[in-house]
Amino acid sequence: MVSLIISDLRKTFFVSAKLLCPKGRSINKKALAGISIELNSGLYGLLGPNGAGKSTLIHIITGSLAPDSGEVLWCGKPASGIAFRRILGYMPQQQGLYDSYTGRRFLAYMAALKEISRKAVAAEVDRVAAAVNLTAELDKRLSAYSGGMKQRLLLASALLGDPKLLILDEPTAGLDPKERVRLRELLADMAKDRIILVATHVVSDVETVATKVILLRAGKIVDAAPVPELIEKYAPGQGLEDVYLNVFGEGDGK
């Protein structure tokens, strides 16, 4: 069984108020204030308003940002180094793409970065392209891709190497309703034998497929539970969007 243990993660950023006012003083902003949770096989939704700490948490898990304190363990070992990167698939919210590349060339390039053997690259590219319904578009230049197609390409790159930990940041941005449904079905099926963490503002992306939903506010976990339990606790007889609004208010995140 796979496991991801997040233990007392803390992160503070030092922000110069002079950016806003020449006579301002520097201030400390706590992005994470002691995050602890254990994840096993399944799909986990990460919900919270802007500034809640979702991106900071993701960047620490993926190794692009160091915490001030705390640790992340993958199957009991520190989540770092080559071995961890090989089991990690990460789809950022935004990523620069080379418009002169074709989809196939981009995926082959990403496969090389993931150290997938040359002999396996072609078949692996075909596999992940089929998974996100991009097979017919692989040989087009990225300059001809729509926003939704680019989003699916980024998802395909995250799937390279069959990662056991998949972290997706706003994966459905720009997707039409049909592709949103396809993505939900794909992730629900994949989550049977791996951990998938989905950070999103679109509640419907995770409402019907999440093993648990993690509610994050001001760098702290407000709650983490299956959707029916959250609804019963915060919005009886309603839905996950109502849970979101009751917990976080209507000012952000709809």
| pTM over 0.85, yes/no | yes
Q: What was the pLDDT predicted at 16?
A: 61
Instruction: Report yes or no: 4 and 33 within 8 Å, Cβ to Cβ.
Output: no
Q: Measuring CA to CA, how many Å separate 42 from each of 61, 119, 188, 191, 226?
A: 17, 31, 8, 5, 11
Mean pLDDT of 93-115: 91
Tokens 């959707």, residue?
Answer: 227
Residue 253, both tokens: 């995140």
Q: Output the average pLDDT for the chain.
A: 92
- Where would I find the H helices in the chain? 54-62, 81-87, 103-113, 118-131, 147-159, 177-190, 204-207, 227-234, 240-248
Q: Given pLDDT bands bounded at 50, 70 and 90, which one contains residue 32?
A: very high
* Confidence (pLDDT) at 251: 54
Q: How confident is the model at residue 253 (pLDDT cuts 50, 70, 90)?
A: very low
Q: Is the pLDDT of residue 95 over 80?
A: no
Angle at the Cα of 180 from the Cα atoms of 226 and 160, rounded to 5 degrees: 90
The pLDDT of residue 28 is 79
Q: How confident is the model at residue 254 (pLDDT cuts 50, 70, 90)?
A: very low
Answer whether residue 98 shows pLDDT above 60: yes
Grouping H, G, I as helix, E, B as strand and the rest as coil, residue 59 is helix
The whole-angstrom separation of Cα 155 and Cα 159 is 6
Which amino acid type is present at position 64? S
What sign results for the dihedral spanned by CA atoms 203, 206, 212, 216? negative
Q: How far is residue 228's CA from residue 205's CA, in Å, rounded to a whole number?
A: 15
* Domain boundaries of the chain, sorted by first residue: 3-14+29-95+164-248
Question: Which range, of 167-176, 208-217, 219-228, averages the lowest pLDDT?
Answer: 167-176
**Is pLDDT of 167 > 70?**
yes
Between 174 and 163, the higher pLDDT residue? 163
Name which of 176, 53, 160 is nearest 107 in CA terms. 160
pLDDT at 20: 53
Q: Give the integer Cα–Cα distance in Å for 9 and 167.
A: 17
pLDDT for the residue numbered 24: 61
Give the confidence band of 17 by pLDDT, cuts at 50, 70, 90: low
Please work out, in degrees rounded to the nearest 5, the angle formed at the alpha carbon of residue 61 by the alpha carbons of 189 and 10. 135
**What is the sign of the dihedral through the CA atoms of 98, 104, 110 and 113?**
negative
Lowest mean pLDDT among 63-72, 88-97, 149-158: 88-97
Does the structure show a pLDDT above 70 at 19? no
User: Under CATH, which architecture does the 3-14+29-95+164-248 domain have?
Assistant: 3-Layer(aba) Sandwich (3.40)
pLDDT of residue 96: 76
